[in-house]
């Protein structure tokens, strides 16, 4: 170890950011590189050039060592900022190994380090690293990883989408890879994990990665391909500071178009222009709000033609004009797959724009599922991305469609054993959804600069939030078990720094489930969405819809005869209609949450650990959550259930949304949950704006009321804009509402975005 004097680092980063310091621990090279006072990157390798090399594709921030100081003492090299201190431990000259050590010990020179907060409290300690030689896809490479100490009271969240049914990741093995066929439902790898100890780790490796959080008192990361260890530590006094750091490092979350917060109606699939417009008309004739109609797959003549079959969709431009005249928008599904017989296949193969084997031959289909339906566009190739966007723009979007659904973004055609232009499919296993959606986001920004982009995407990676994507939990089953799993699944996904997530309401797979064990709560008479042997399916759909009204996106989809709101029977329809109207009444609240996420990076569908860190009881609760600052949501996920217990976090009072009854926090209550009601509570001090009824977000929505739940002071920033352009990045209408609980007055220093006067809108709950 070379002694280094105290050095104040320059506030101006060089053009090519150098590590703050490159240390040598007897052959292990350790690079320490700050990105902000609370963000630091650690890279460990045997090769100096690898240790100094930049991070992978997810992070986009520039290194910034402003305010950091480096000093050395007997303990090691100490790097400190106003937010954290990282100490790379000194290592004595290695002694000769014992007989046991000769057999078991790693050949790697050891590296360990610790991270403390500004008060000197230990946040985490890395105890070692690993590099084990392997041959993967013909490449001589390594498995690489690092191990961290795990105290008994540490809990872990995030890592993308895992549908195994629990929130806390502690004590589990997380196979961090995109995998459509995962037994419990598709897994999606976003290697960002946050803890309840005031820090998070962004793991900088796109290969399949195994993570064992808190297993046997350690947390271990192991990527299956790599030649170095690279990760970022983000610290924060609150979880929102962690997400602000993640956004700084990997990109902000754009504000979706306002229509993206409304109802998105889909089906696998609408077979004709007439059928799609008939469903849209059905909503308007029934007085039900709707924002977006979706045209799913097989509207084309062949997979990869990137065309619209005019036999069934004779006038797509006229269809979209009709939707717009009804106050609706459209999304169309475009796949990255190309059949050999399609018009672009030979060109793409010749240019090397397809996933291929080591001889360069395109990989056609999925042999494990007897799927021979085409080769995969190689979106790691920038030229292929540009070609794809330009072709989709000219062939599809030119017909009046607003936004794209990029399906199969995991991708479904597994790249392991094959090759991208970038390199081995195993090495870049998890990268595809970021580069594929980025190609569309970049193209839209270039060619439609005044139109707000939105993408429906089935998978994500570090930084995918910056592409304007809305994500969903893939093709889940239409069962009660699948619904129950959605709640913790979504909470871990948003805990991974990606705010916009939802599920196919009612499940995507054909409705089929076990026989109901309790009396069915929704009479299935008149339902056409399922066969007669699933009489509790309308009840399941009602519960799934209630839950989804309180998720970031509200999208009906599925492989069934009918999916529209009136196709679940006469008993279900009025319940569903009321919940849909509640979603639209909450649009001023929802849109303000979207703006807050754009500015802060923090999700608004929030596991309880985020907002109640001093209440240890919430650390493992995965069947309740906060929706914005006001609502505590407790979905009903059991068939025939008419009551459920709800834990009310300590430190605040709570109001039952339906009865206005007040409860003190820190207790578990049992509440009624008849089929038309899902348990909802509102935190004391909340300000909840409610809008008047509208047909869609295309209509200007006035405020119907502003509800105030007394018991604490409160603030809420109302926000509005045109809902469709990118002007929100520079402008928008805001009004900060302030509730003084002592004087029981709600005030605003500025005019409300709707132009209404505050007087007459305020409703104080319980008064």
Q: Is the pLDDT of residue 366 over 90?
A: no
Amino acid 10: pLDDT: 38
Amino acid 19: pLDDT: 63
Q: DSSP assignment of 4-42, as one string?
A: ---EEPPSS--SSPPPSEEEEETTEEEEEEEEETTEEEE
What is the arithmetic mean of pLDDT over 709-733? 97
pLDDT interval class at 447 (50, 70, 90) = very high
User: What count of Cα atoms within 13 Å lies in the side-chain half-sphere of residue 147?
Assistant: 12
Q: What is the mean pLDDT of the chain?
A: 95
User: Any catalytic annotation for residue 412?
Assistant: no
Amino acid 539: pLDDT: 98
Strands (E), 412-548: 455-457, 469-472, 501-502
Question: Of the ranges 18-27, 538-547, 618-627, 690-699, which one carries the lowest mean pLDDT score?
Answer: 18-27
The active-site residue, picked from 186, 475, 539, 567, is 475
284-295: per-residue pLDDT in tens?
999 999 999 999
Beta bridge partners of 86: 79, 115
Those residues whose C-beta lies under 8 Å from the C-beta of residue 710, and which sit 6 or more positions away, are 684, 685, 739, 741, 744, 764, 765, 766, 767
Beta bridge partners of 265: 293, 556
pLDDT interval class at 97 (50, 70, 90) = confident
Amino acid 106: pLDDT: 74
Domains of the chain: 258-600 (3.20.20.80)
Question: Of the ranges 91-95, 272-276, 286-290, 669-673, which one carries the lowest mean pLDDT score?
Answer: 91-95
Q: What SS3 state is found at 47?
A: coil
612-666: per-residue pLDDT in tens?
999 999 999 999 999 999 999 999 999 999 999 999 999 999 999 999 999 999 9
The active-site residue, picked from 291, 296, 407, 426, is 407
Read off the tokens for 29.
């090279």
On whether the CB atoms of residues 679 and 641 are closer than 8 A, the answer is no
User: Any catalytic annotation for residue 407?
Assistant: yes
What is the arithmetic mean of pLDDT over 472-489? 97
At 529, give phi and psi (nearest 5°): -80, -10
What is d(CA 395, CA 569) in angstroms, rounded to the nearest whole number? 39
Distances (CA, A) of 720 to 328, 586, 629, 723: 19, 13, 18, 8
Q: Is the pLDDT of residue 3 over 60?
A: no
User: Any catalytic annotation for residue 410?
Assistant: yes
Q: What SS3 state is found at 197?
A: coil
Q: Which residues of 638-673 are buried (b: 16+ CB within 10 A; e: fewer)?
A: ebebeebebbbbeebbbbbbeeeebbebeeebebeb
């Amino acid at each position: 170890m070379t002694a280094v004097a105290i050095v104040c680092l320059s506030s101006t980063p060089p053009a090519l950011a150098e590590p703050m310091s490159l240390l040598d621990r007897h052959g292990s090279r350790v690079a320490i590189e700050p990105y902000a006072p609370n963000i630091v990157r650690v890279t460990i390798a045997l090769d100096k050039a690898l240790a100094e090399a930049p991070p992978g594709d997810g992070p986009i921030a520039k290194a910034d060592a402003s305010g950091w100081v480096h000093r050395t003492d007997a303990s090691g090299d100490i790097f400190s900022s106003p937010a954290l201190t990282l100490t790379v431990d000194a290592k004595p000259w290695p002694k000769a190994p014992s007989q046991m050590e000769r057999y078991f010990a790693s050949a790697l020179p050891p590296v360990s380090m610790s991270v403390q907060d500004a008060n000197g409290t230990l946040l985490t300690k890395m105890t070692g690293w690993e590099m084990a030689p392997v041959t993967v896809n013909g490449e001589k490479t390594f498995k690489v990883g690092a191990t961290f100490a795990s105290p008994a009271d540490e809990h872990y969240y995030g890592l993308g989408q895992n549908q195994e049914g629990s929130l806390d990741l502690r004590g589990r093995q997380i196979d961090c890879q995109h995998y459509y066929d995962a037994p419990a439902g598709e897994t999606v790898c976003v290697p960002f994990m946050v803890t309840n100890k005031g820090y998070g780790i962004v793991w900088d490796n796109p290969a399949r990665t195994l993570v064992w959080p808190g297993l046997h008192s350690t947390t271990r990361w192991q990527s299956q391909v790599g030649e170095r260890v690279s990760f970022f530590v983000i610290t924060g006094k609150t979880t929102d500071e962690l997400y602000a750091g993640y956004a700084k490092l990997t990109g902000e979350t754009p504000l979706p178009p306002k229509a993206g917060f409304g109802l998105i109606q889909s089906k696998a699939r609408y077979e004709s222009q007439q059928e799609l417009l008939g469903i849209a008309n059905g909503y308007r004739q029934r007085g039900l709000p709707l924002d977006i109609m979706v045209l799913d797959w097989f509207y084309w003549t062949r997979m990869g033609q990137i065309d619209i079959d005019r036999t069934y969709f004779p006038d797509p431009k006229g269809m979209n004009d009709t939707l717009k005249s009804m106050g609706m928008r459209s999304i169309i599904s475009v796949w990255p797959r190309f059949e050999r017989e399609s018009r672009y296949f030979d060109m793409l193969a010749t240019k090397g724009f397809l996933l291929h084997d080591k001889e360069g031959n395109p990989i056609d289909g999925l042999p494990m599922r007897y799927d021979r339906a085409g080769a995969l566009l190689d979106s790691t190739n920038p030229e292929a991305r540009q070609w794809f966007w330009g072709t989709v723009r000219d062939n599809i979007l030119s017909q009046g469609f607003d936004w794209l659904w990029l399906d199969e973004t995991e991708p479904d055609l597994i790249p392991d054993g094959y090759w991208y232009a970038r390199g081995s499919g195993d090495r870049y296993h998890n990268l595809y959804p970021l580069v594929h959606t980025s190609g569309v986001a970049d193209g839209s920004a270039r060619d439609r600069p005044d139109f707000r982009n939105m993408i429906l995407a089935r998978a994500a990676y570090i930084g995918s939030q910056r592409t304007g994507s809305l994500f969903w939990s893939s093709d889940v089953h239409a069962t009660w078990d699948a619904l129950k799993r959605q709640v913790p699944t979504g909470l871990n996904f948003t805990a991974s720094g990606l705010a916009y997530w939802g599920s196919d309401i009612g499940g995507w797979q054909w409705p089929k489930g076990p026989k109901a064990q309790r009396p069915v709560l929704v009479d299935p008479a008149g339902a056409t969405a399922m066969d007669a042997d699933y009489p509790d399916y309308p009840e399941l759909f009602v519960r799934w819809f209630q839950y989804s009204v309180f998720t970031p996106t509200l999208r009906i989809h599925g492989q069934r005869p009918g999916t529209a709101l009136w196709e679940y029977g006469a008993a279900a329809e009025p319940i569903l209609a009321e919940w849909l109207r509640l979603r639209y009444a909450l649009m001023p609240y929802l849109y303000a949450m979207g703006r807050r996420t754009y500015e802060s990076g923090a999700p608004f569908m929030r596991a309880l650990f985020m907002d109640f860190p001093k209440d240890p009881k919430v650390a493992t609760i995965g069947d309740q959550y906060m929706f914005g600052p006001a609502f505590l949501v407790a979905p009903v996920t059991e068939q025939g259930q008419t009551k459920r217990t709800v834990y009310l976090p300590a430190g605040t009072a709570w109001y039952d949304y339906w009865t206005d009854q007040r409860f003190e926090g820190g207790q578990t209550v049992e509440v009624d949950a008849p089929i038309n009601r899902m348990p909802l509570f509102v935190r004391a001090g909340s300000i909840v704006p409610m809008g008047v009824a509208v047909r869609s977000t295309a209509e200007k929505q006035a405020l119907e009321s502003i509800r105030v739940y007394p018991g604490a002071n409160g603030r809420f920033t109302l926000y509005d804009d045109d809902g469709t352009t990118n002007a929100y990045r520079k402008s928008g209408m805001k009004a900060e509402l302030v509730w003084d609980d002592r004087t029981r007055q709600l005030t605003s220093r500025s005019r409300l975005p709707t132009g209404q006067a505050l007087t007459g809108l305020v409703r104080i709950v319980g008064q």
